[in-house]
Amino acid sequence: MGATKDIRESVQAELTFDPLVDAADITVRNINGEVALNGAVPSYPQYLEAAAAAQRVAGVKNVYNHLAVVLRDADHRDDAWLTTAANNALALNVTVPDGVEATARDGKLTLTGLVEFGRQREAAELAVAGLTGVRYVKDDIEITYDADPADVKWFVQAALNRSAVVEDDSDISVDASGNTVTLGGHVRTWAEHDAVVGAAWMAGGVIEVRDYLEVTG
C-alpha cells in the first residue's frame, strides 16, 4: 500500500511541478506501477506532456492517458481555420515532406500523405500539435519505403549498441518481418524505453513498431 501511495503522490507531484501542465483537474490512480491519468487539460500539448511527466517517475511501468482536452472558449477554432493553419504549419516545416496534409473536424486533426521514415511522421505530428484549437491528432500518414528486414534489424541493433541510454547488459531483442519491428525484453526506465522505440522508428521503411518491452521501474 505504501509503495502504491508513493508512486501516485510522486506522479501528482511531478505533474504539479511541470510548468507545461495545468494539473488542477488531473487525478492519478496507480496499481503496482500501472498509472492512469483521469480528468481534463486545456490543450493537446498538455495532454501529451502529462503522460511524459508521469513516465519520468521512478516505479511507473505503464501510463494510461484518459485525459480529455477541454478547450477554453477563447481557444476554439472552426474547422476551416484549423485546417488552413495546420497545412501552413506543415508546409513551413522543413522536416515534413511535401504532400503531407491535414484536415480538421471538431478540433481533431487527421494527417495524411506519404513519407519514407517514421521520424518524418513524428515531425508532422509535432508541427501541428501546438496549434490553438487542436484537441487531438490522428496520424494516417503512410510510409512508402520498402526495406529489407535483415537491414532493418541490423540498423536498429547497431543504434541500440551506440546508445548512451540503453544499458550494455540489456536483454532487448529486435526482430523484423517485412516493415514491422518487434521489440522485446526489459528496460529499467521510460527514458530507456523511449530510446529503444525511437531507434526502431529511425530505420528506413519501418511501418509498425510492436512494443513488448517491459519497464521494470
Most confident of 129-133, 147-151, 212-216: 129-133
Helix (H, G, I), strand (E, B) or coil at 86: helix
Q: Give residue for cell 501516485.
A: 8
Q: 44-75 in b/e burial notation, b at 16+ Cβ within 10 A?
A: bbbbbbbbbbbbebebbbebeeebebebeeeb
Mean local confidence (pLDDT), 172-185: 88
pLDDT band, residue 1 (cuts 50/70/90): very low
Mean confidence (pLDDT) of the chain = 91
Domain with CATH 3.30.1340.30 in the chain: 2-69, 75-143, 149-215
- The dotted CATH code for 2-69 is 3.30.1340.30
The lowest-confidence range among 78-92, 147-161, 176-190 is 147-161
Mean local confidence (pLDDT), 179-197: 89
* pLDDT on residue 3: 60
Distance in angstroms (rounded) separating the CA atoms of residues 163 and 156: 11
> Phi first, then psi: what are they for 118, rounded to 5°?
-60, -35
Instruction: Answer yes or no: pTM beyond 0.85.
Output: no
Percent of the chain at pLDDT exceeding 70:
97
Q: Does the domain made of 75-143 have the CATH classification 3.20.20.70?
A: no
Q: Architecture of domain 149-215 in CATH?
A: 2-Layer Sandwich (3.30)
